[in-house]
Amino acid sequence: MTSKERCLAVISGEPTDRVPVFPLLMFFALQRAGFTYREFASNGRAMAEAQLNVRERFGIDAITACSDAFRIAADLGGDIVFPEDNPPFLTTPLVTSSSDIDRLPRPDAAAAGGRMADRALGVRDMVAAAGDDCLVLGWVDMPFAEACSLCGVAEFMLLLYDQPLLAHRLLDALTDIVVDFALLQLEAGAPMIGAGDAAASLIGPELYREFALPYESRACAAVHDAGGLVKLHICGNTTASLRDMARAGADLYSVDHLVPLTSARDVFGEAGLCYKGNLDPVADMLQATPEHCLERALACIHLAEGTPYMVSPGCEVPGETPDAVFEALCEAPIRASS
């Protein structure tokens, strides 16, 4: 099987030759390609080259066009700083009042020179080079995460309590923009969209059901209507929200190391949904020996046996992770199937 066939088969609940390896890579990829973070985040072709380099060197089964959370913020007119060796950030919140929401434009995601268009350019390069053999994902941040980016995390959290109707207005407007961004990357050739909503791990199940889930569901449905698939990535301890997350309509769910893999197996496996995880990126990758990483990856694979599963760390692989440790992660499914 090709890597792409392997991933799509697992997502569909069909038999495969082995468990796919699907890590999330940013620092790890750019460092091995010799790029600064500024280059990686500001040049879609550099991002694509870094991802393709890791695919070629280590044989992972999926690569993702992910670099930072401020693509939409930039195209909305935000002032973005691009540090040399760290991810970009927004200098000043774009939304501080009701009138700011009223003035939010719906930018053209494909506009030349925009940061959304730049990510789509990277997707196009990745698909052209490896899309027949490897699963290529675009990337968006879900509306709740985007709202936190535009307002500031603490400020948007207060809005949920102080002005919930205003929070919903912002989330509704952002959902349309997120969908536009996702569809642009599907048009660029990505069969699947990774969708991050990390800030949603900071709220309890009740708030998640009101302010995150409905907008995640809308985004997933729009991608499905366009013929694409969705991976929902919420890092952090989402144990209490797993059953609600399973209702979002995603095709693949990332599970952080803070969540017991048995809990994820019970929820997603029972629903016939594919999930991936959940090695600790620090203890099982960055600070680990190859032997420890292999042991942990094999333990995850065996625990998930019989359910649709891909092996990976629970979140991004640290850039300083030794190559030998990363190779052990990639070797685990081969060992497990032999």
The residue ranges of the chain whose pLDDT is under 70 are none
pTM: 0.96
Q: Are strands 192-196 and 135-141 parallel, antiparallel or unpaired?
A: parallel
Full set of structural domains in the chain with CATH: 3-337 (3.20.20.210)
Encode pLDDT of 246-291 as tens digits.
999 999 999 999 999 999 999 999 999 999 999 999 999 999 999 9
- Which has the closest alpha carbon to 122: 48, 187, 67, 49? 48
E strands, the chain, where? 62-64, 80-81, 89-90, 135-141, 192-196, 229-233, 252-255, 274-279, 309-313
Place of tokens 């409905």: 214
* Cα dihedral value 328, 333, 336, 338, nearest 10: -100
Per-residue confidence (pLDDT) for residue 338, from 0 to 100: 80
* pLDDT tens profile 159-173: 999 999 999 999 999
List, in order, residues 6 or more apart from 67 with CB less than 8 Å away: 26, 40, 41, 47, 87, 119, 139
